[in-house]
Amino acid sequence: MLCVISPAKRLNVKEWDRDMAGLSTPDWTKDITELSDIARKLDVADYEKLMHISENQAAKVSAYYDDFSLPHTPDNAKPASLMFSGDTYLGLDAPTLSPKDLTYAQDHVMIISGLYGKLRPFDLVRPFRLDMGTKLQTPRGKNLYEFWGDKISDAFTQQMKDTKSKALVNLASIEYFKAAKGDKLAQNGVRVITPNFKEIRDNGDIKTMSMFVKRARGSMARWIVENRITNPEDLKDFNVGGYTFQPGASEGDDWSFARPQPPKKTKGKAASADDQTPRRRK
């Protein structure tokens, strides 16, 4: 099974164990250099307009690219799975995976990135921001989808073959998975399963809530890694955080998972129903 997830805007730049084993570097250095050189030429006002962000945020992004350099080393970069700290990465919780699980994840979890194209969990990255939907003009086209072309799709297809995976589990956002070109993957014979996560309210209404969706995506990726899921049908056993497979709401390979919406957090204590700590199957 190959899991594909999105990166995160929120970064963790704190110190980490630089002596950890298994570190790797991103594959596509020529492409990364080309994009970072283009981004470095932009000023704060350009970033504000291009990314629709505040002046303070734009200044931070500008500083990222002023400091950006290759090659990445443990002294100037950090593994992607530790650098990203959004809700998906809270669900994945890579720092608590066992060494064997981390080694397995390196080949079975891929991160789509606007700047790096694709990343493995142990690939070193510098602090950056470049959302895949950014309309950054490059010699290859008017946006990052045109810049990356078929490269990400072809890489995932090859990774599927290398790992003998029976399905690609799409745990990325629409914005990012668009870069993987679902139609091209299908032409390459890749089966794509897209889990959807929903909350059931007390009145019976079923809602999609972004924060919970992102956390559940990371939790499912971790669950797949910990349990070495290889049979696509076994994905239906996913129950972390109270989610259960909903056959009636699923269609084709768009699979629906739902749970009772967790109660609001009480002061100083998170509600137990919102515990999405992944656990191994028994």
Identify whether 50 is part of a domain: no
- For residue 274, the model assigns a pLDDT of 44
Phi, psi of 127 (to 5 degrees): -60, 135
- For residue 271, the model assigns a pLDDT of 40
- For residue 265, the model assigns a pLDDT of 64
Identify whether 119 is part of a domain: yes
Reported residue count of the chain is: 282
Identify whether 53 is part of a domain: no
**Which two tokens mark 175?**
């914005």
- Angle (CA) 3-8-12 rounded to 5° is 115
- For residue 39, the model assigns a pLDDT of 97
Low-confidence residues of the chain: pLDDT under 70: 265-282
Identify whether 25 is part of a domain: no
Identify whether 162 is part of a domain: yes
Count of the separate structural domains present in the chain: 1
Identify whether 146 is part of a domain: yes
Q: Which of 54, 149, 131, 43 is nearest to 86 (CA)?
A: 131
**Which two tokens mark 279?**
């656990």
Q: How many CB atoms sit inside 10 A of residue 154's CB?
A: 15
Residues 6 or more apart whose Cβ sits within 8 Å of residue 211: 87
Task: Give the residue numbers spanning the domain of 221.
Answer: 2-14+79-274
One DSSP character per residue, 14-28 reads S---TT-TT-B--S-
Identify whether 57 is part of a domain: no
- For residue 204, the model assigns a pLDDT of 79
Identify whether 56 is part of a domain: no
